[in-house]
Amino acid sequence: MPIATFLIIKIRKYKPSSSFCGLVLQYLVFLIFERGQDMKVEDFKEILYQKEDNGIVTVTLNIPKRKNALSLYTYYELFWAVDAMEKDDTAGVMILTGAKDPDSDDTTKESFSSGGYFNLSSLASLSDEVRAQLDPTDIAQKKFTLKMWQFDKPVIAAVNGLAIGGAFTMCLSCCDLIYCSEHAWASLPFIGLGIIPELASSYLLPRLIGFQRTKEIMFFGERITAQNLFDLGLVNKVLPHDQLMSYARERALKLIPPQGAGYAVRMAKRALHQPLLAAVTMALDMENKGLNEGFSTADFAEALTARMEKRAPVFKGR
């Protein structure tokens, strides 16, 4: 029985003092606004959560009109998607992908996600309860990243198109296997915007490809093709576009019963992730510090102005 329900039953039965009731009320408010009310998967607006009888859950970033860009609210829904899977013994493996634009049949221009979406007007329609759970200072997405890092069920990214900024760092820190369409590409354009990368990529990326290559990718923000991502060891396989989802599903089924030893997969993931938890947490704290400072700099303001005016930025280094 949930603690909140237990407390309400006790109040009704024993009718304690008003001071005790006040303490209980404060605790209930804490549960609702600090921890957050559980969100139902059928209420998701920016992602699709589709569970099959075989144990596969496909989570689709579903805002194609903005190239599936990730807002604070998108991460909020992703957090609750993971939470739903944690509580569901019949959900064994997640496939994360991006929705295609319904108005375009050009597979070469599909988007996994174009990265962060910082238009705060997109949050205007949210309830006060939901807005109270969104932390605009958690730019590095510490809460979500740690939720994913400690999620022991396997997660497969099926990158069907461009993956810019936080979209690709999310794959690196939150997904166990990354399969790419031949048309996919990635870039980390943060420094060109006067800020720094997030989602613990500052810790994970140099341990995958070394410091020199990491710095080159982060400093210059250049486009990396799917094949180059594979050559660097950042993705597991590059596939013909029309085979991406079928291959991801095929691999997913090998990670859960009856084809796969699902318990052993989960134990192996825990053994790989838990020793690094403190370091990942520290990296996220450092990233949040740098991001919150970066957002107040003249260079960040110049980067945004230059982008709106469609010109090269003129930075001042402050």
CATH, residue 221: 3.90.226.10
Q: Considering the domain boundaries, does residue 6 fall inside one?
A: no
Question: 39 falls in which pLDDT band (50, 70, 90)?
Answer: confident
Report the pLDDT value the prediction gives residue 11, as an integer from 0 to 100. 45
Cis status, amide bond into 258, omega within 30 of 0: yes
Domain containing residue 253: 34-308
Answer whether 0.85 is exceeded by the pTM.
yes
**C-alpha separations of 257 from 88, 92, 158, 163 in Å:** 15, 8, 21, 31
pLDDT tens string 85-124: 999 999 999 999 999 999 999 999 999 999 999 887 778 7
CA distance 312 to 83: 42
Cβ 218 vs Cβ 224: under 8 Å: no
Cα Rg of the chain, angstroms: 21
Phi, psi at residue 4, to the nearest 5°?
Answer: -60, -45
Q: Considering the domain boundaries, does residue 71 fall inside one?
A: yes
Q: Considering the domain boundaries, does residue 255 fall inside one?
A: yes
Q: Is the pLDDT of residue 57 over 70?
A: yes
CA distance 47 to 78: 7
Average pLDDT, the chain: 91
| Beta bridge partners of residue 95, listed in sequence order | 58, 156
Look at the block and give the residue holding tokens 């949210």: 126
pLDDT tens string 162-184: 999 999 999 999 999 999 999 99
- Count of structural domains within the chain: 1
pLDDT tens string 200-256: 999 999 999 999 999 999 999 999 999 999 999 999 999 999 999 999 999 999 999
Cβ 193 vs Cβ 165: under 8 Å: no
Q: Which amino acid is at 252?
A: A
Q: Considering the domain boundaries, does residue 120 fall inside one?
A: yes
Burial class of 119 by CB neighbour count within 10 A (0 to 12, 13 to 18, 19+) = exposed
Q: Considering the domain boundaries, does residue 96 fall inside one?
A: yes
User: What residues have CB less than 8 Å from 265, skipping those under 6 apart?
Assistant: 154, 255, 256
Give me the mean pLDDT over the 52-57 stretch: 98
Q: Which amino acid is at 300?
A: F
Q: Is the pLDDT of residue 15 over 80?
A: no
Cβ 312 vs Cβ 228: under 8 Å: no
Cβ 169 vs Cβ 197: under 8 Å: yes
Q: Considering the domain boundaries, does residue 1 fall inside one?
A: no
Count of CB atoms situated within 10 Å of the CB of 299: 19
Give me the mean pLDDT over the 65-93 stretch: 97
User: What percentage of residues in the chain have a pLDDT greater than 70?
Assistant: 88
Q: Considering the domain boundaries, does residue 18 fall inside one?
A: no
Q: Is the pLDDT of residue 10 over 90?
A: no
Q: Which of 69, 115, 54, 60 is nearest to 254 (CA)?
A: 54
Count of CB atoms situated within 10 Å of the CB of 88: 14
CA distance 113 to 165: 9
Report the pLDDT value the prediction gives residue 159, as an integer from 0 to 100. 98
Q: Considering the domain boundaries, does residue 317 fall inside one?
A: no
User: What residues have CB less than 8 Å from 128, skipping those under 6 apart?
Assistant: none
Q: Is the pLDDT of residue 194 over 80?
A: yes
Give me the mean pLDDT over the 66-90 stretch: 97
Report the pLDDT value the prediction gives residue 208, as an integer from 0 to 100. 97
